[in-house]
């Protein structure tokens, strides 16, 4: 549960867990303290990241307890990637106060200052292959509202790692969509970061918003025009890609998905140079329709033998068939939650469709409603039977850019 409580006093500190880290008097919390149970719904790192981003953007105190509470005792609390993102946010604003900013901390109090720091260079260094794109998920919305005309964020960590957006889909699906909303952003992989020991680097250049974010309307896609497949491998897995996946996927795509849609396969950094002990086979297939969509399928492996390689093309095709099965589904489960935050910040009404809401998306909706009680978010079901899908409508806040 997330709740906003007005008023001051000494009651309701959020339990013993909050008390062990957050020791200041209740008066220090401010009048609009937001208390977040980090174990609600998805109960993982995304809830922490978006709580901190909304705290920064809306300038509201936030006390989050039970961080990553659904990850069990071993996985609970701040990981290195979460801490790196939090420290980066603290750099952005004068007078920010943070308590609980250490690895394994289960409780964090973030009290943002009021004025942006006027800098044009920032760095976030995981020192491990922690996902650079999850750090960007936390920091990019905030940097749009900085006072400098343009800033550059260098993030060091993992670019192709499990349980996070791979570089291919981040660059070619997510960023093009938010550009449609008026976001000026450029992205470059300087070096791929791979599990277990290769720390990579990306540069994200963000232009200050000149006007409010524009709404998006992702409810109709039209016919399938094409598919672009992005592939990155290390040495060991390169033959699996060239000898098995590529010819099999091409044949299956023509047979199962479309005989006429344009198919493009791009070999990017194949094989990766200076790969150390890392092993990776990363494949992302992006669908293109008449109207803009966020529909992609991906496979990312750090272990793959020939027997496994024989199944890769079929697995990816099955994912694509699920995406194309329901007409007018425009967003897959991995992008709906990422877009919801931008839709909430935008001026006007935005809509997106997906087959069904992921737990991540449900978590973001709950978090937005509690941070901003006046926001209007509607979730409805469209169609029947196998053709049934979900539509999310958000009347945005129209958050004004920095003066």
Q: Which residues are catalytic?
A: 360
Length of the chain measured in residues: 403
Is 170 assigned a ligand-binding role in the annotation? no
* DSSP sequence for 226-242: EEEEEEEE-GGGHHIII
Category of 274 on φ-ψ map: left (φ > 0), alpha (ψ -120 to 50) or beta: left
What burial class does residue 260 get, using C-beta atoms within 10 Å of its C-beta: 0-12 exposed, 13-18 middle, 19+ buried?
Answer: exposed
Rounded distance between C-alpha atoms, residue 378 and residue 87, angstroms? 34
Rounded distance between C-alpha atoms, residue 135 and residue 173, angstroms? 17
Category of 244 on φ-ψ map: left (φ > 0), alpha (ψ -120 to 50) or beta: alpha
For residue 108, the tally of other CB atoms under 10 A from its CB is 29
Is 335 assigned a ligand-binding role in the annotation? yes
Which residue in the block uniquely carries the two structure tokens 């978090």? 367
Rounded distance between C-alpha atoms, residue 313 and residue 320, angstroms? 11
Is 241 assigned a ligand-binding role in the annotation? no
Which residue in the block uniquely carries the two structure tokens 């990241």? 49
For residue 365, the tally of other CB atoms under 10 A from its CB is 22
Helices 336-345 and 359-371 cross at an angle (nearest 10°) of 20
Is 137 assigned a ligand-binding role in the annotation? yes
Is 337 assigned a ligand-binding role in the annotation? yes
Rounded distance between C-alpha atoms, residue 231 and residue 386, angstroms? 32
Question: Residues forming the annotated binding site for ATP?
Answer: 137, 334-338
Question: Residues forming the annotated binding site?
Answer: 137, 334-338
């Amino acid at each position: 549960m997330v709740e906003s409580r007005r008023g001051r006093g000494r009651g309701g500190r959020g339990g013993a867990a909050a008390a062990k880290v957050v020791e200041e008097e209740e008066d220090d919390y401010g009048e609009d303290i937001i208390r977040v149970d980090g174990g609600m719904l998805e109960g993982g790192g995304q809830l922490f990241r978006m709580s901190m981003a909304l705290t920064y953007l809306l300038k509201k105190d936030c006390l989050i307890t039970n961080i990553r509470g659904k990850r069990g005792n071993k996985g609970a609390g701040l990981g290195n990637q979460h801490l790196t993102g939090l420290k980066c946010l603290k750099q952005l604003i004068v007078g920010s106060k943070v308590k609980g900013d250490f690895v394994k901390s289960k409780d964090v109090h973030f009290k943002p200052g009021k004025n942006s720091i006027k800098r044009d260079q920032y760095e976030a260094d995981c020192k491990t292959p922690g996902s650079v794109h999850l750090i960007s998920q936390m920091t990019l919305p905030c940097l749009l509202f900085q006072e400098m005309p343009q800033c550059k964020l260098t993030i060091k960590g993992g670019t192709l790692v499990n349980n996070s957006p791979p570089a291919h889909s981040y660059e070619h699906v997510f960023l093009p969509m938010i550009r449609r909303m008026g976001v000026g952003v450029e992205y470059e992989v300087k070096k791929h970061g791979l599990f277990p020991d290769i720390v990579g680097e990306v540069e994200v250049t963000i232009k200050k918003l000149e006007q409010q974010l524009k709404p998006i309307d992702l409810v109709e896609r039209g016919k399938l025009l094409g598919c672009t497949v992005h592939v990155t491998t290390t040495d060991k897995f390169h033959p699996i890609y060239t000898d098995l996946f590529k010819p099999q996927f091409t044949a299956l795509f023509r047979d199962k998905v479309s005989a006429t849609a344009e198919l493009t396969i791009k070999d990017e950094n194949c094989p990766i140079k200076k790969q150390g002990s890392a092993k990776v086979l990363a494949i992302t297939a992006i669908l293109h329709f008449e109207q803009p969509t966020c529909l992609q399928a991906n496979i990312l492996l750090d272990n793959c033998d020939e027997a496994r390689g024989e199944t890769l093309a079929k697995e990816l095709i099955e994912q694509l068939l699920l995406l194309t099965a329901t007409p007018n589904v425009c967003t897959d489960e991995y992008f709906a939650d990422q877009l919801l935050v931008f839709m909430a910040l935008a001026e006007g009404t935005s809509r997106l469709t997906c087959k069904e809401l992921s737990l991540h998306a449900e978590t973001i909706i709950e978090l937005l409603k509690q941070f901003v009680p006046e926001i209007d978010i509607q979730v409805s079901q469209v169609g029947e039977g196998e053709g049934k899908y979900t539509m999310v409508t958000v009347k945005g806040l129209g958050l004004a850019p920095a003066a």
